[in-house]
Homo-oligomer: A and B are copies of this chain.
Amino acid sequence: MKNKKAVVYVRLKEGVLDPQGVTIQRAILNMGYDVVEGVRSGRFFELELADGNGDLSGKVEEICRKLLANPVIEDFSVEYT
């Protein structure tokens, strides 16, 4: 399997308070929109992968655990394209 790009999505675990999301939700309300009942924020990283290295998913998962996500309070998922 040859991967060209890996997109890593990092989000706070369920139950972990998301102050940025709360602030955004409040801002949306203050702008006059009453259609949004909750906001959770997250980050994503698009990793351009080197060609011809076979399956890199193991290495990508290591990079996620060690660098991109804080496993204590965050979950991550990876999509390959």
Q: Which A residues lie at the B interface, using CB under 8 A?
A: 9, 11, 21, 24, 27-28, 31, 33-50, 53, 56, 59-60, 62-63, 66-68
Q: Is the CB of A46 within 8 A of B37?
A: no
Copies of this subunit:
2
Smallest distance from the beta carbon of A30 to chain B beta carbons, Å? 10
Q: Is the CB of B39 within 8 A of A46?
A: yes
In the complex, chain B residues whose CB is within 8 Å of the CB of A59: 33, 35
In the complex, chain B residues whose CB is within 8 Å of the CB of A31: 63, 66-67
In the complex, chain B residues whose CB is within 8 Å of the CB of A39: 45-48
Cα(A67)–Cα(B63), bound, Å = 31
A-B pairs with beta carbons under 8 Å apart, 20 shown: A9-B44, A24-B45, A24-B67, A31-B66, A33-B63, A34-B50, A35-B60, A36-B50, A36-B63, A38-B48, A39-B45, A41-B43, A41-B46, A42-B43, A42-B44, A42-B45, A42-B46, A43-B43, A43-B44, A44-B44
